[in-house]
Structure 1
Amino acid sequence: MNNNSTKTVLILGANSDVAKQCILQYLEKDFSIIASSRNLKSLENFVKEHKLDSSKIKLNYFDATDFSSHHKFYDELPSKPHIVIYAAGFLVENQKALKDFEGAKQMMEVNYMGAVSILNIIATDDSNKNLKRIIGLSSLSGVRGRKSNFIYGSTKSAFTQYLAGLRQELASRNITVNVLVSGYINTKINEGLNLNKSLLMEPAYVAKHIVNAGNYFSIVPNFKWKIIYYILKILPESLVSKLP
């Protein structure tokens, strides 16, 4: 798929709107891409629509919830990645998740358990000398528990804490781990939700922060969301409980 001088990005959950923008931006930087998703047809259409160089992008089937397949998936990659992005995500409205555990369970499996399963495999592969960075897409919903979305938020909070520990685990190998902590993004997952339009970020804008990730652990795009992020972290519980 690539020569020895080309760097490879593995994107898990590559069918998300943000992930697709990451594909475009990494290709502009001359990376090779392994785009992995359950919905390969959508990715094929994306490649055709944007007339992408098929020699630079490989499409692989990946199911975050099929934990038993993860070792085989990783072992059969066309090349071992320099950068890994976990962008898979699933959202069920909180009241529905409260009453129907299947929805809550799927959020746990996609947003947290699937991430831990595959990233543990990738992180413990000492033979991959290419690996330099792992980036996980989390959410401000995971900063503090709020009654409107605490089940979804709990999966993102768990993922963030996992990445924080993984960052410490991999530091001795000079592998950087980042978490993208985003607010509202104008994506498929948020369609139909009553969101403040002035706070909506476009997928390309968020992707730019992922592709240009530095050494800080938390990446919070947009100054408005940075302010909200820090307020949420320090807000007393008595005030958090009054938030929607």
Structure 2
Amino acid sequence: MQSKTVLLLGANSDVAKAAIKQYTAKGYRVIAASRSTDALQAFVQQEVPEKEQVTILYFDAADFASHAGFYRQLPEKPHIVVYAAGYLKQNEEALLDFEGSFRMMQVHYAGAVSILNMIAMDKDNERLERIIGLSSLSGVRGRKSNFIYGSTKAAFTQYLAGLRQYLFSRRIIVNVIVAGYIRSKMTAGLNLPEPLMLEPAYIAAAVVNAGSGFTIVPGFKWKLIYTALKWMPEKLVAKLP
């Protein structure tokens, strides 16, 4: 266990920070990669007891040209890769601001495909055993309140589903965490139902303890919502916010 390394992409998110604490507590080494390296460094120094197990690197999901160099310069190849990069632009804003829409496409989908393709195709890394992507229930069905954000998460989920099949023969597991509402800096200020809010540490536990199944939906209430959304008739989906 102590010899394993986790590469955490988008490591300054609240879920990723919680995952850093949980992975290091279990003895993993963590390469925490983010654009916000100063904030991440402060978090590790203040909140992670096993800080010597964490290496912090700069990573920009939307800077595709830098990804190959980033991967080549890793201090060691990972056993586990977690893609947790995120960006949110509210739907009404995104409809009027293509730059915001495009940023979500870059961070949630194009950036993930860029770096994860490189990682998956590195057959010299025989230690790679798992890739985990943090997606969203917003990507399960298109709804009028968040379909632009949701479409980027849907694309990411479908990419991971295909990647799982592609890597099956190499015995590399691919998981997707389909999360509901998370109490985080990205959702701060949004009017979300309190009984459905989940803590970042709860989602992080689903990441750290991921099993062999593809879709992981943390929380019993959200499992019910996920199932309902998947099978709900279109005329009922149209009535949702």
Identity within the alignment, %? 62
Alignment of 1:60-139 (within 5 A): 60-139=57-136
Aligned partner of 1:164 among 161, 164, 169: 161
Structure 1 residues without counterparts, runs of 5 or longer? none
| TM-aligned CA distance change 1:51 to 1:161, over 3 Å | closer
RMSD between aligned residues: 1.0
TM-score by length of 1: 0.97
1:193-232 maps to which residues of 2 (within 5 A)?
193-232=190-229
Q: Measure the CA separation in 2 of the matches of 1:215 and 1:162.
A: 17
Determine if contact 2:136/2:150 at 8 Å carries over to the other structure.
yes
Alignment of 1:17 with 2:10, yes or no, is no
| Equivalent-residue separation in structure 2 for 1:51 and 1:232 (angstroms) | 37
Aligned equivalents of 1:93 and 1:141: distance in 2?
A: 12
3-state SS of the aligned residue for 1:189? coil
For residues 85-124 of structure 1, what are the alpha-carbon distances to aligned partners after superposition, in whole Å with 9 as ceiling and x for unaligned?
A: 0000000000110011000000000011100000000000
Measured after TM superposition, the shift of residue 50 of structure 1 is 1.8
Give, in angstroms, the shift of residue 51 of structure 1.
4.9
Partner of 2:56: 59
Query: CA contact under 8 A between 2:138 and 2:147: conserved in structure 1?
Result: yes
Contact 2:184/2:200 (8 A) holds in 1: yes
| Partner deviation per Cα, 1:51-89 (whole Å, 9 max, x = no partner) | 544431100000000000000000000000000000000
CA contact (8 A) 2:135 2:157 kept: yes
Once residues 219 and 78 of structure 2 are traced to their aligned partners in structure 1, the CA distance between those partners, rounded to angstroms, is 29
Structure 2 Cα separation of the partners of residues 207 and 198 of structure 1: 19
Q: Which residue of 2 aligns with 1:154?
A: 151
